[in-house]
Structure 1
Amino acid sequence: MRLRNRPNGQVPPARPCVIVCLMSRVVRVLLPWLAVLAFGYLCLGLLIPNTLALSLDPNFITGFARGLFIRNTGSIRVPDGFGVAVFAQGLYHPTALALGPDGLLYAAQLSGEIVALDGATSKVYAAGFSAPLGLTWHDGALYVSSRNTVSVLENGVRRDIITGLPASRHQTDHLQFGRDGRLYIGQGSRSDHGELVCIAPLEGTVLVADARGSNLRVFARGLRNPYGLAVHPETGDLFATDNGKDVPGDGVPDELNRMVDGGNYGWPDCYGQGKGANCAGTIFPLAEFQEHSSADGMAFYTGSNFPADYRDNIFVALYGSNSGDPYVGRRVERVVLEQTATGYRASVSTFATGFDHPLDVVVGQDGALYVADFGSGRVYRIAWGS
C-alpha cells in the first residue's frame, strides 16, 4: 500500500476498523475509569520522550522510581588508549545530535530547543519544537523530527513538511537520508505490545519520503520503536535499532536490524530469533541487546581518529531501563559487522560505560565519537590517544 501526503503535507487518516473500533469507543464511554487511565497514559506520553515510554505493569512503579533517582556518579570508562572529555554540559536532556556543514555539533533538547555547540559555547539555533528526537542535515538544511511532525529549517525559515504522524506512547524518532536522496523516518508505535484495538497504518514502521516530504510511504513495518537509523558508508544499506516491549521479565530483547523495502520485523507478535507467534515471513534481527536496555541512537564510525579496526563499526547508545533494573543499559555498545554471502554477521561488545542515560551518538569532524547523555545533560567526546 502506497501512502501519499495531502497537498497540505498532512498524512491521510487511516480507515477505521469499523466494528472493533466502535465497540472500543462504547467500552470507553461505559467505563469512565478506563478513560481516566487513558488520560494519564497520554499525559505521560506528552511529558517524556518515546525512549522513556512507561509500562502499566505492577512492577513499573518501583522500577521507574529507582531509575529516576539512581545516578552514575563514577567516571566514563573506555578501552585503553581512549580518552574522555566533557564537550558540553548544562543541556536540558539532549535527545539527538547531528554534525552540521559548518563543523559545529547540533543538539536537540527535550525543551524543544536546538543548540549549536563548539566545545566552549552553546548558542540556540532554533526553538519551539515539541519533544524533538531526530536531527539530520541535507543540502544545507536541518531536518527535525518532533511529536507528529517532520520539519525543515533552511535560511532561518521553518517548514513543517510532514504532519499528523502517530504519537502517544512513542512518536517520530530519528531521521536519515539514504544514498538515494530520500528521507527515512523511524516511526514508533502508539503502544507497548500491540494492546491498542486498532493499529494505525503508519505506526511501528520506518517511513520513506522525498526530501520535500511528499510521496510518503511505509518502507518497513513490524517495529515497536525504531529509534536510531544509520546508513552503511560502504554498501548504502539502512540499519535501525528497535526497542523491545517494557513489561519486566518478558525476555524480549532490543534489536539491531538491517532494513529492507517491504520487510516485516515481527512486532507485536514475533520477536528475537523467531520467538512468539506469527513469525512466518518476518525478518529476524541482525543483533540483539539485553532486554529493557533501550537501544537508541546509532552511528557508523567513518572517522580517522580511532584505530583502523573500528572503521565501519556501529556505535549504539543504550539508554537503559526506567521500568525494570536501573543498571541495565546506560552504556555505548560496539557492533562489528562482517559481510557474508547472504548479508551480514554481527558481534556486539561494550565500548563505554558510566553514563546516566546515553541517548544518541555521532562522529565529529575531528573523528571523535560524541555521546549525548540525556540523564546528565552532557555531551561527551571520546577520542583515541587523548
Structure 2
Amino acid sequence: MFYSLFILCLVSFWSCDSKAQSKQNNEYEALLERINLPEGFEISYYATNVIDARSLARTEDGKTVFVSNRRRKNVYALTDTNGDMVADKVDTILTGWNSPNGIAYRNGDLYVAEINRIHRFPSIMENLSDPKSEVIYDQYPTDGHHGWKFIAFGPDGKLYVPVGAPCNVCDKEEENPVYATITRMDPDGSNMEIYAKGVRNSVGFTWNPKTNNMWFTDNGRDLMGDDIPACELNFAPKAGMHFGFPYWHQGDIPDKEFGKKYPRDKFTEPAYKFEPHSAPLGLRFYEGNMFPAKYKNNIIVAQHGSWDRTPDAGHIGYQLRFVQIENDKVVKSEIFADGWLDTENNKGWGKPVDIMEMPDGSILVSDDVNHCIYRITYKK
C-alpha cells in the first residue's frame, strides 16, 4: 500500500513538473508571435531561461556561445551539441563577479570585463569544466554608475573597452581623463590608451568590414524631457575624436551647465540620431549571405528601450533597427524587428541587448527581460 502511494505521488510529481514545463514553453512560443519582422524572416529561440542575458560572443565555429549578465554576476557557455541551432548544454564560467557585462573571444581565449578589471581565460574551450582566469588590466575606475562594460576586439587586434561617465551628466575630464571615453589595449593588457572622448555611455561598437572603421552607440543624458536629447550612432574612423559629452548633446544641444565651456564646432556630431531615450546598445555589421543583399555590410542595432519617459509620452525603443551605410554616411534607417513593447499597457515584455552573427548567416539577439537568446533566420 505504501509503495503504491509512493509511486502514485512520484508519477503525479513528474506529471505536474512536465505540465509546468510545457506551459512555460507554450508561453515562450506565444511571445514570438508578437514580434514583427520583414517578409521572409523567422524568429525562434536559441536558448531560454538565460536570466538577464546581455553580451554575446562565440567560438569560431559557432558551436559554443558565451553570454554574460551584469545583475546576476554570471557568465555562461551555451553549447549546441547536436547542430540543431538550439543550445542544449550549459557551463558556468564564473559567478559572483562585479557586473561582468563585457565578454569577447579571440584565438581561443575568453575575455571578461568587470567594472574595474579585465580578465582573460586562456584556452577556454579546453578548460570549461575548471576555468581559470588571469587579470590583464585593473586600473579602470570602480564607479558603478555606467561602469559595466561592453568589450570587443577591433580589426587592429586591440581590445576596446568603454568607460562610462559616473553620473547622468558631469564634467570629470580633469579629475580622470578616462571617464566618458572608449579605450583600447593590447590583448595582454598593455599599452592602454584613450581612443575616443566625450562618450557618455557606449554599450556597443562594431567595425565596417569594408573599411575597418569604427561605429558605436551612445546613450544620451536623462532629465532633459521626453523628446531630447537623441541617443546617438557615432562614426569614429580615427583615434583622438571628441563626441561632445558633457558639453553638447546630440551634436546641437548645449548642456545648461557645461555647454558654455566650448563651442559646438569643437566636437564631432552624431552620424545618426536615434529616438530619445531609446537606449541603443549592441550593434553589428551584417556580413553573411543568408539575409537579402540590402543587409550586407550594413548595421543592425538593438534598441533596449526607454525607462524615463513620462506615461503620457509612452515608452520607445524595444526593437531592432536597420541602418544602411554608404561611403561612411547613414543613408537610410528603418525598423527591422519590433513587438517587444506592449503599447496598450506601455510596458516592454522583452528588451533586446546584443546582436551576434552566426557562421550560417543567422543572427542571435539577447534579451535581458524575456531572459533568452533569439535566433533570426531568412528563407527565400
TM-score, L = length of structure 1: 0.76
Letter in 2 for 1:363: E
Equivalents in 2 of 1:321, 1:308: separation in Å?
31
RMSD: 2.0
* Inter-CA distance 334–284: structure 2 relative to 1 (3 Å threshold): same
1:220 aligns with 2:208: no
Unaligned runs of 5+ in 2: 1-30, 81-85, 124-130, 341-349
**Distance in structure 2 (CA, Å) of the matches to 1:281 and 1:267:** 11
Letter in 1 for 2:152: Q
Alignment of 1:101-120 (within 5 A): 101-103=60-62, 104-110=64-70, 111-117=72-78, 118=80, 119-120=86-87
Deviation (angstroms), 1:120: 3.5
* Other-structure match for 2:247: 269
CA–CA distance in 1 between the matches of 2:106 and 2:211? Answer: 19
In the alignment, which of 336, 353, 363 is matched to residue 357 of structure 2? 363
Aligned length: 312
Q: Quote the Cα distance in structure 2 between the aligned partners of 1:315 and 1:199.
A: 36
- For 1:75 and 1:249, how far apart are their aligned partners in 2? 26
Shift in Å at residue 362 of structure 1?
Answer: 0.7
Question: What is residue 158 of structure 1 aligned with on the other side?
Answer: 133
1:124 aligns with 91
**Partners of 1:244 and 1:291 within 8 A in 2:** yes
What code does the residue aligned with 2:232 have?
E
Name the CA distance, whole Å, in 2 between partners of 1:188 and 1:88.
Answer: 30
Q: Does 1:294 align with 2:279?
A: yes
User: Which aligned pairs between 1:316-355 and structure 2 lie closer than 5 A?
Assistant: 316-324=301-309, 327-339=315-327, 343-355=328-340
Question: CA separation of 1:334/1:199 partners in 2, compared to 1, >3 Å: closer, same or farther?
Answer: farther
Map of 2:176 onto structure 1: 200
Give the percent of matched residue pairs that are identical in Structure 1 and Structure 2.
Answer: 28
**CA–CA separation in structure 2 for the residues paired with 1:165 and 1:250:** 33
Partner of 1:283: 268
Cα displacement (A) at 1:102: 4.0
For the pair 1:82 / 2:57, whether they are aligned, the reply is no
Q: 1:229 to 1:306 in 2, by over 3 A?
A: same
Whether the 8 Å CA contact 2:280–2:303 is kept in 1: the answer is: yes
| 1:135 and 2:135 are equivalent in the alignment | no
Q: Does residue 1:254 correspond to 2:231, yes or no?
A: yes
Q: How does 1:302-317 map to 2 (within 5 A)?
A: 302-317=287-302
**What are the ranges of 5 or more consecutive residues in structure 1 without an aligned counterpart?**
1-71
- Taking the aligned partners of 2:309 and 2:33, their CA distance within structure 1 comes to 21
- TM, length-normalised to structure 2: 0.78
In structure 2, C-alpha distance between the alignment counterparts of 1:199 and 1:244, rounded to whole Å: 22
Contact in 2 for aligned 1:95/1:132 (Cα 8 Å): no
Classify 1:307/1:284 alpha carbon distance in 2 versus 1 (closer, same or farther; 3 Å).
same
Q: Which has the larger displacement, 199-208 or 263-272? A: 199-208
What are the Cα deviations for residues 62-81 of structure 1, in whole angstroms up to 9, with x where unaligned?
A: xxxxxxxxxx8962111111
SS of the equivalent of 1:383 reads strand
Greater shift in the superposed pair: 288-297 or 267-276: 267-276
| Partner residue in 1 for 2:368 | 374
Per the TM alignment, residue 249 of structure 1 is displaced from its structure 2 partner at its CA by: 2.7
SS for the counterpart of 1:173 is coil
Q: Residue type matched to 1:132 in 2?
A: P
Per-residue Cα deviation, 1:129-170 (whole angstroms, up to 9, x for no partner):
322222211111111122212111113321121113122310
The yes-or-no answer on 1:178 pairing with 2:144 is no
Cα shift readout 1:20-56 (whole Å, capped 9, x = no counterpart): xxxxxxxxxxxxxxxxxxxxxxxxxxxxxxxxxxxxx
Q: Which amino acid aligns with 2:289?
A: S
The letter for the 2-side match of 1:245 is: R
Q: Distance in 1 between matches of 2:152 and 2:331?
A: 21
SS where residue 280 of structure 1 aligns? helix
Structure 1 pair 120–197 and aligned structure 2 pair: CA distance change class (3 A): closer
Deviation at 1:122? 3.8
Shift in CA distance, 164/250, structure 1 to aligned 2, threshold 3 Å: farther
C-alpha contact 2:32 2:44 (8 A) present in aligned 1: no
> Is 1:144 the counterpart of 2:112 in the alignment?
yes
Instruction: Tell me which amino acid in the other structure corresponds to 2:168.
Output: D
- On the 8 A contact 2:325/2:331 being kept in 1, the answer is yes
